[in-house]
A and B are shown apart, each in its own frame.
Chain A
Amino acid sequence: MSTREEVLGRIRRAVEGAPEVPEAEIPRAYRTEVPCDDLAGLLAERVADYRAIVHVVPSARVAATLAGLVEGKRIAVPDGLPAEWAGPVSQAAATVLADPARDELDTVDAVLTGCAVAVAVTGTIVLDAGPGQGRRELTLVPDHHLCVVRAGQIVAGVPEAIARLSPDSPLTWISGPSATSDIELDRVEGVHGPRTLEVVIAV
């Protein structure tokens, strides 16, 4: 008998006669929608709580804001970054590397991406490796992650985010910069992931 059959057999014997917990009876009385009339404001507040840098700007000012932030820097960008950001950014930055290889990634000052969804209540941005977000390592190796969130991408709570996302592509949920509390429970920002997270929220 294979181990697979052995383990499955053990499970079947173990639960024989155990009380049923029908799927339909799983109580889901928790909130699946959280009322919130200022999603961008709440997101900004909650992201800032993690000691990330937050800019809330009108959509029309996003390109100019990004240009200011990358000025004179060596920047990595993913494929598919919206043209209205890519243009001004490539003019302002010293160097723009499009979807660079790993060893080059370790040499950039920052990486600029969009995101798929943002969760206001928890201050989380979610990347799904789609256009304008890139492979997972793109937002991991550089020490500074600059991320643009459009107003329409913000949802209130975790259930709304799960409903919008698909597990078909790899997902990275990011809540603030890399951090640890392993030393005497003192929170320190910045271990292996980007030590600076800068979020531009377009309203």
Chain B
Amino acid sequence: MSERATGAPAPRALPAEEGGGGRASVTFIGMPRSFRENAAEAVRNDQLGRNLRKATHTIRGKRARVVEELPDWAELREAGRAIKDHTLRHLDRYLLQLEEAVTRAGGHVHWAADAAEANRIVTGLVQATGESDVVKVKSMATQEIGLNEHLAAHGVTAYETDLAELIVQLGDDWPSHILVPAIHRNRAEIRRIFRDRMASWGRPAPEGLSDEPAALAEAARLHLRERFLSSKVAISGANFMVAETGTMVVVESEGNGRMCLTLPETLISVVGIEKVLPTWRDLEVFLQLLPRSSTGERMNPYTSMWTGAVEGQEFHLVLLDNGRTGVLADEVGRQALRCIRCSACLNVCPVYERAGGHAYGSVYPGPIGAILTPQLRGMGSELDNSLPYASSLCGACLEVCPVAIDIPEVLVELRARARHPRSERAAMRAAGWLLGDQARLARAQRLATRLRRLVPRRLPGPGSAWTDTRDLPEIPEESFRDWWKRS
């Protein structure tokens, strides 16, 4: 099997536009096509399908169990939604408060309007230390801006330290899931990547490496150990920032986050402006919502919190806009900024499960990607234009979202704005009609599911215009509600 046989796209990013304003951000090369064409390729790939199905179903079950344990889940979710909405409404005030608190605690705050500016700032900060290597904690914001590529172009090597990110980096590949970026790789593939590629990035894989997950994790530990202990500069993101106190919060599992946040002399955190929370107390909500939604654990193994420069470290915070204020201006779309990147919506999405993460052509795959990417990047390309159609509007994403983002609502709104053929517009109207009435939606889905067995991949009525041009089954085999009741 070739290295690309999992349907992974070619391993290069279009460099983020230099200089120009606007919304520079990385598009995955190898997928200038529409979501449908990308997805069709993934659907044909059995290995990818099996990896994805196993992974998403496992994590889905875990999430459901730990969410059920909390009798006040609905109340936490309601609080989470309201805190985020309140913060976004007063985002200017909270960012200023955050800046003041971080500065008071000895940190430095930088503002970046777009990817190019953020990359310039970070690269300048790294160059000022005189170092040419940096360690990185998994961060979606830095992937979004193509930071590693920019650093490389300026002679700085960024070493990813999260196990999945390491697999992706060594495999010259793209992440395909928010939480488990190498979800499309199975153990045999990972073993091969480690065996073939570790040596060119540092310590080689141990002799006779097996494909046992424990052995592979041990290989990663050995590979990165020396680098952690000797690195002088680290780059991270953050899950939350507290305006009131200037505290940064990073949630992780492996300890690579703690290594990067604790050991280096200089720490640079690149964080989207929407990640701010007003008060220290707000963490009591989000530290319950995130781990249970994300890994399906009562709590993730490690959460680090720090305020400004601590234990002699130099700390820089880069606040990133890169299209977020454009999303904020959108009455319907702005709710996407509540997202805490838990990935629960990916794991329940019948379209994601079939299409895989790469089809979305962005660091934000799945339902959240389908609404966030076109808003962040604009709908100029065929791919971004087609993303709002990467959904059956079944509503599973909304039901699991810990901050109650109405993803179907935003999808329908974006479809109305996309430049798309007449057939898609007709289908869009059908979806809007379906969405207008929950009972009708359930009925129509059940009907479509039943029909699907007889006439695969065809919707009755106005839906057929859309399905005729799609070979992705956009109606789940089982309607979401039936599936939910059963499982």
Contact = CB atoms under 8 A, between A and B. Distances in A.
Interface stretch (B91-99, B125-133, B426-434, B458-466): B91-99
A184 B83 contact: no
Given A167-B247, A188-B214, A181 B295 contact: yes
Nearest to B247: A167
A11 B91 contact: yes
B259 interface: yes
Contacts of B285: 30
Nearest to A176: B301
A18 to B, nearest CB: 6
B56 to A, nearest CB: 9
A140 B255 contact: yes
A179 B51 CA distance: 20
Contacts of B311: 129, 135-136, 170
B303 A172 contact: yes
Interface stretch (B24-32, B147-155, B159-167, B394-402): B159-167
A193 B328 contact: no
A15 B88 contact: yes
B312 to A, nearest CB: 9
A36 to B, nearest CB: 13
A91 interface: no
B29 to A, nearest CB: 25
B217 interface: yes
Interface string A1-24: 011101110111111001111110
A170 B305 contact: yes
Contact of A29 (B51, B78, B273, B331): B78
A46 B229 contact: no
Contacts of A182: 162-164, 167, 180-182, 254
Contacts of B321: 7, 10
A49 to B, nearest CB: 8
Nearest to B259: A192
A26 B301 contact: no
Nearest to A4: B111
Interface string A103-145: 1001000000000000101111000010000011100110000
A16 to B, nearest CB: 9
Interface in A164-203: 167-186, 188, 190-194
B254 A179 contact: yes
A183 B58 CA distance: 12
Nearest to A193: B255
Contact of A20 (B89, B112, B162, B186): B89
Range class of the B interface residue count: 35 or more
B299 A27 contact: no
Given A176-B301, A184-B187, A140 B213 contact: no
A102 interface: yes
Contact of B298 (A20, A122, A194): A122
A173 B303 contact: yes
B113 A3 contact: yes
A85 interface: no
B59 interface: yes
B242 A167 contact: yes
B288 A158 contact: yes
A56 B298 CA distance: 21
Contacts of A175: 297-302
A28 B465 CA distance: 46
Would you call the interface of chain B mostly helix, strand, loop, or mixed?
helix
A178 B55 CA distance: 20
Given A7-B319, A182-B180, A14 B217 contact: no
Interface string B257-295: 011011100000000010000101101110110010001
B216 interface: yes
B58 A14 contact: no
B304 interface: yes
A16 B326 CA distance: 13
B79 A28 contact: yes
Interface in B323-342: 325-326, 328-329, 331, 334
Interface stretch (B37-45, B220-228, B444-452): B220-228
B301 A193 contact: yes
A27 B220 CA distance: 44
Contacts of A102: 229, 263
Contacts of B478: none
A25 interface: yes
Contacts of A191: 163, 217, 220-221, 253-256
Interface in A20-57: 20-23, 25-32, 46, 49-50
A27 B217 contact: no
Contacts of B214: 188, 190
Contact of B79 (A10, A19, A27, A185): A27
Interface in A60-110: 102-103, 106
B62 to A, nearest CB: 9
A159 interface: yes
A50 B301 contact: yes
B443 interface: no
B262 A137 contact: yes
Contact of A178 (B54, B59, B302, B325): B302
Given A10-B326, A174-B301, A191-B256, 11 more contacts: A15-B88, A25-B82, A28-B75, A31-B72, A121-B298, A137-B262, A158-B287, A168-B307, A171-B303, A191-B253, A193-B301
Interface of A: 2-4, 6-8, 10-15, 18-23, 25-32, 46, 49-50, 102-103, 106, 119, 121-124, 129, 135-137, 140-141, 158-159, 162-163, 167-186, 188, 190-194
23 contacts: A2-B111, A3-B112, A10-B321, A11-B328, A21-B89, A23-B278, A27-B79, A28-B79, A29-B78, A31-B75, A32-B284, A102-B263, A122-B299, A162-B283, A169-B310, A170-B306, A170-B307, A172-B305, A181-B59, A186-B213, A190-B217, A190-B218, A191-B217
Which 6 residue pairs across A and B have the least CB separation, nearest first?
A: A193-B255, A14-B329, A10-B325, A192-B255, A191-B254, A173-B303
